[in-house]
Chain A
Amino acid sequence: MSIALKEALVQRYFLSKVIQSIVLLFGVLLLVFVMVRITGDPAALMMPREASQEHVEAFREKMGFNDPVMVQFGRFISGAIVGDFGNSLHFKTPAMPLVLQRLPATVQLALAGLVMAVVVGVPLGLVGGFNPGSLVDSLGRFLALLGQSVPNFWLALILILYFAVRLRWFPSFGRDELKSVVLPAFVMGLPVMGQIVRLTRSAVLEIRGEDFIRTAHSKGLEPRTIYTKHVLRNVAIPLVSVIGVQFGYMLGGSIYIEIIFSWPGMGQLLEQAIGWRDFPLVQALAVFTSLVVLGLNLLTDMAYAVIDPRIRYG
């Protein structure tokens, strides 16, 4: 295949992925718009239950809920494109900057969790894959099962109780010092670590049985060369994909952990916004988080296509 043709295929693959993501983002906007109106009366949904009839009426007029639905949708979409989701009902300031303020804390937590998961998970998976049935392998598989089965909100409570309240090694809440991140990042990273252990282990097992590894052995290559050059490189392919997807999952799934540790990120803001019935803020949060996650998935797809040439022609 000529180089020009290859490049054209890669570009087409990337372009179709970008278009798919844009279509889905539009779907997210539609969903968020419809959901707020699904009960029939968005004004009643957003106002306190004890609000007077006149108050609700004035609010409805102010928010434009009396306009035809298509007009409202047009206004919503044209605002959303420039990042304008209206004012937060609680703070009385534009919703999107409030969301962006919380982004660094959430990213810090997810990154710390991911680093922990990779640093512990990959070596455990590699050792387990090369020595199935060994002590390290059993330990890795046990940790993987634990990460899969322990509810994160419960683990968070237990860790606070033991390491923060009893031993006083770490602060039990907030983000005032650097070591505040340790406990929440551990809770965040444990299930991802489990998945990475499982994946690395099975990838090593599978690749060790491949013909090209046997060929490498039989042509007299050093085992060390085989492991680093042939096995590890192939293990990296599924790992990149899982790490990308999991990072997105962590950014969007940190709600419980942020609440329990009073971590001032987007998840905590979501719980507060729901409590205040501040749905413009909830909408901005949902759309922005989806945007970040979709962007990450897109990057993962592209990285994958670059590492593994088999993907892009599929």
Chain B
Amino acid sequence: MANRETTQREADSLLDVERTFKERVAYAGRFLWRDRSGVIGLILFLVVVGAAVFAVHISPYDPLEQNLRENKMPPFWSAEGSWDHPFGTDNLGRDSFSRIVYGARVSLTVGFFGVLIAGTLGMVIGAVSGYAGGRIDAATMSLINLILSLPYLLFVVFIASILGRSLLNVVLIFGITDSPIFARVTRGEVLRMRESGYVESAISAGARWPRIIFDHILPNLIGPLITLATFEMSAMIFYEAGLGFLGLSVPPTIPSWGNMLAAGRKYLQQYPWIAAFPGLAIMFTSLGMNLLGDWLRDVLDPRLRRARK
């Protein structure tokens, strides 16, 4: 019990403006180490990022190289499998492991830039709405709440089927359709801050606009938004693979987890590993980012921790 209270105090002190950046990072690190699922999440996330960045060095084969003589080879533990192709090969004899490694690039690109666009758009909309208040705020928010209540997957599939297959289209679709959720969170935070004493006292002390925004509002927005961004990135990676499965994401020439799933679907009964490995890759990435998000929420927003117990 005492231990939990100490942790609580440390978490509180993370928000303390008096601490230097270095101290805060040190606290966050110690906090992370105590939360084992957070460590697992971070490791999984770093593995995926590492795969995407060093894909050229990690993958033993060219992900596009076809070798029809070695097609549909089983993974290494099977009797006919070998360490030459640890995850086996697909119907065209392409090395599954190399394709998974390269697939991380597509997933992370979609997740990162999708969240960047959604976050920027949402922050602007939410901040304006929250600051303007009154009718503008009421109208924006009821629109956003209603948009969020629509069948999301259906519209993403609908829009993707019209725009056609390209990486840019996928990023734009997710970036735009996902912005309402960022707007809602930003607006909630801005409203709370407007009511809080410190912004008021900063204004009465004569602080000008830039100072209030950059010193008081932005630092407090970053925590909740980074947490949200982690969860949304995980969701986008998930949805991108789903679009790929329907043949609506990046062109089939680009190795992506969704495209691999779509290709493996036909051979499921005899050669299940072709679809199983990309599915596992999506699952571990998603799991890692959800664990990381849970941890970030606890670290960056101690209020939630108190409420959750």
A interface, CB within 8 angstroms of B:
20-21, 23-24, 27-28, 31-32, 35-36, 38-39, 45, 132, 145, 148-151, 153-154, 157-158, 160-161, 165, 202, 205-206, 209, 245, 248-249, 251-253, 255-256, 259-260, 270-271, 274, 279, 282, 285-286, 289-290, 293-294, 297
Contact = CB atoms under 8 A, between A and B. Distances in A.
B149 A154 contact: no
Given A35-B162, A36-B162, A202-B308, A151 B153 contact: no
Contacts of A274: 157, 161, 246, 248
Nearest to A293: B151
Nearest to A153: B245
Contact of A151 (B152, B279, B290): B279
Interface string B216-247: 00000000000000000000001001100110
Contacts of B193: none
A209 B306 CA distance: 12
In this complex, which of A23, A32, A38, A149 has the most chain B Cβ atoms within 10 angstroms of its Cβ? A149
Nearest to B278: A154
B162 A38 contact: yes
Contacts of B241: 151, 153
Nearest to A301: B149
Contact of A253 (B142, B151, B287, B290): B151
A21 B79 CA distance: 59
Contacts of A245: 149
Contact of B152 (A24, A161, A253): A253
B155 A151 contact: no
A282 B155 CA distance: 10
Contact of B151 (A132, A149, A279, A289): A289
Contacts of A286: 154-155, 158
B158 A161 contact: no
Contacts of B290: 145, 148-149
B151 A282 contact: no
A157 B153 contact: no
7 contacts: A35-B158, A154-B261, A158-B276, A252-B151, A279-B162, A290-B154, A293-B149
B43 interface: no
B283 A161 contact: no
A271 B283 CA distance: 24
A289 B279 contact: no
B275 A157 contact: yes
Contacts of B283: 149-151, 154
B272 interface: yes
B269 interface: yes
A161 B269 contact: yes
A206 B276 CA distance: 40
A151 B286 contact: yes
Contacts of B17: none
B56 interface: no
A35 B149 CA distance: 19
Given A153-B242, A154-B261, A161-B268, A28 B150 contact: yes
Given A38-B162, A39-B162, A148-B290, A153 B154 contact: no
A248 B159 CA distance: 20
B265 interface: yes
A286 B152 CA distance: 11
A289 B157 CA distance: 13
Contacts of A205: 309
A21 B265 CA distance: 39
Contacts of A279: 162
B148 to A, nearest CB: 10
Contacts of B287: 145, 149
A205 B307 CA distance: 10
A132 B265 CA distance: 41
Nearest to A154: B279
A294 B149 contact: yes
A24 B155 CA distance: 14
Contacts of B123: none
Contacts of B163: 38-39
Contacts of B155: 31, 286
Interface in B264-299: 265, 268-269, 272, 275-276, 279-280, 282-283, 286-287, 290-291
